Amino acid sequence: MNLFDVYPLFDITPVRAQGAYVWDDKGKRYLDLYGGHAVISIGHSHPHYVKRIARQLYDIGFYSNSVQMPMQQELADKLGELSGYEDYSLFLCNSGAEANENALKLASFQTGRKKVIAFKGAFHGRTSAAVAATDDTKIQAPINQTDNIIFLPLNDVAAFAQALQEHGSDLAAVIVEGIQGVGGVQLPGPAFLKTLAAGCEKVGALLILDEVQSGYGRSGKFFAHQHADIKPHLITMAKGMGNGFPVAGVLIHPDIESRHGMLGTTFGGNYLACAAALAVLEVIKEENLTENAQQIGQRLMNALRQLPGVKDVRGQGLMIGVELDKPCAPIRKQLLEEYQIFTGSSSDKNTLRLLPPLCIGAREVEKFLQAFEAILYQTEPQSI
């Protein structure tokens, strides 16, 4: 049987990883500044994480969501403490798309409405409602297409006001990424997020913050929207939550009431997922990884701004987009093949994405900057 061929692949076979490094089957070491699409938060194969999941597997790995599982409450308590959302509830699921799908359903259940405002450049996942709210018709099948989604330019207050006027009474939700990732690391401004929150309150719609990529300490705060000091009704999270173990969740405002059967999942919140997610939170707290992301990220962004051919550096913490004056694909290839450094792309061909593990230090930053600078000097036309 063949694998269904939907991914372009690098010719690299990782067999081992530790911290911010990955080794291939030939023993070659790579610096991982992409974390497998922003997934690696506490670092590859962190010893506490490995021990906690392994220990759990020896006890019990799975039972369905029909029995008492105190670990889920332990996870909700710890997440409430670290995120500052103690009064919200947690629904556990398995992936970012599923978290957004459930958040969109909750907003529709709660309001009895169907329309959703989403933003140009957004990526929310590949399930039915999530992909409909994703600004990429290439990944929408005919069955996903709907006129319930209104796409607006990010940070356009006038367009938002106009849309509220036209659709306010039908509006179930506004969904926005804490920082747009796939879209090339585009930040919604704090004033814009405040406008969205106020607009939702005004028309009785729910604000959904997609923190699937930007959450879990990556931005230098637990969630990126906390830089804007707003409180959304629903917050979705995934990638960094399990450091590679598939686990995701929705944080739900206390005004939203649950009822049995409203949402559900077979695998969501299983023992192994809880063990992984608890280990991640314990390490984030113990090793001050959110603060590290803030400090190292700031240093890295400042240094990147000095390099030739760099047009713009956007981001917060360790979610960084470097916009060049040329396509970044050949530079990413050179970084990987000549310097053994993984970086990411985005839907903007000139913007390279950096999403390293939150534990990286000055040594890793220096190694990357030296390599990047050398490549940029080779490719920039020399001024005489």
Give the binding site for ligand PLP (CB under 6 A). Answer: 37, 95-97, 100, 123-125, 177, 181-182, 210, 212-213, 238
Minimum distance between the CB of residue 28 and ligand PLP, rounded to whole angstroms? 27
Minimum distance between the CB of residue 100 and ligand PLP, rounded to whole angstroms? 6
Between residues 124 and 340, which has the closer beta carbon with respect to ligand PLP?
Answer: 124
Q: For residue 22, what are the β-bridge partners? A: 17, 30
Between residues 104 and 375, which has the closer beta carbon with respect to ligand PLP?
Answer: 104
Rounded-to-integer distance, Cα 167 and Cα 191, Å: 22
Between residues 297 and 371, which has the closer beta carbon with respect to ligand PLP?
Answer: 297
Minimum distance between the CB of residue 291 and ligand PLP, rounded to whole angstroms? 23
DSSP string, 261-310: TSS--SSTT-HHHHHHHHHHHHHHHHTTHHHHHHHHHHHHHHHHTTSTTE
Minimum distance between the CB of residue 36 and ligand PLP, rounded to whole angstroms? 11
Q: 């039972």: which residue's tokens?
A: 63
Integer CA distances (angstroms), 22 to 13, 28, 48, 53, 337, in order: 10, 8, 18, 20, 14
First to last CA, the chain: 58
Minimum distance between the CB of residue 60 and ligand PLP, rounded to whole angstroms? 25
351-354 and 89-93 strand pairing: unpaired
Between residues 248 and 252, which has the closer beta carbon with respect to ligand PLP?
Answer: 248
Minimum distance between the CB of residue 252 and ligand PLP, rounded to whole angstroms? 17
Between residues 10 and 377, which has the closer beta carbon with respect to ligand PLP?
Answer: 10
What is the token pair recorded at 350?
């000139």
Question: Which of 141, 123, 131, 121 lies closest to 101 in space, CA to CA?
Answer: 131
Between residues 100 and 108, which has the closer beta carbon with respect to ligand PLP?
Answer: 100
Q: For residue 352, what are the β-bridge partners? A: 322
CA-only gyration radius of the chain, Å: 21
Question: Do residues 130 and 104 touch, judged by C-beta distance below 8 A?
Answer: yes
Q: 């940070």: which residue's tokens?
A: 155
Judged by DSSP in three states, 239 sits in helix
Q: For residue 174, what are the β-bridge partners? A: 117, 207
Between residues 340 and 343, which has the closer beta carbon with respect to ligand PLP?
Answer: 343
The burial class, CB within 10 Å (0-12 / 13-18 / 19+), for 287 is: middle
Between residues 83 and 340, which has the closer beta carbon with respect to ligand PLP?
Answer: 83
CB neighbours of 283 closer than 8 A, spacing ≥ 6? Answer: 42, 46, 48, 49, 289
Between residues 134 and 292, which has the closer beta carbon with respect to ligand PLP?
Answer: 134
Between residues 35 and 297, which has the closer beta carbon with respect to ligand PLP?
Answer: 35
Rounded-to-integer distance, Cα 258 and Cα 309, Å: 52
Minimum distance between the CB of residue 345 and ligand PLP, rounded to whole angstroms? 12
Minimum distance between the CB of residue 238 and ligand PLP, rounded to whole angstroms? 5
Select the residue whose beta carbon is closest to ligand PLP and give its number.
96
| E strands in 27-169 | 29-32, 89-93, 115-119, 149-152
Minimum distance between the CB of residue 224 and ligand PLP, rounded to whole angstroms? 10
Minimum distance between the CB of residue 85 and ligand PLP, rounded to whole angstroms? 19
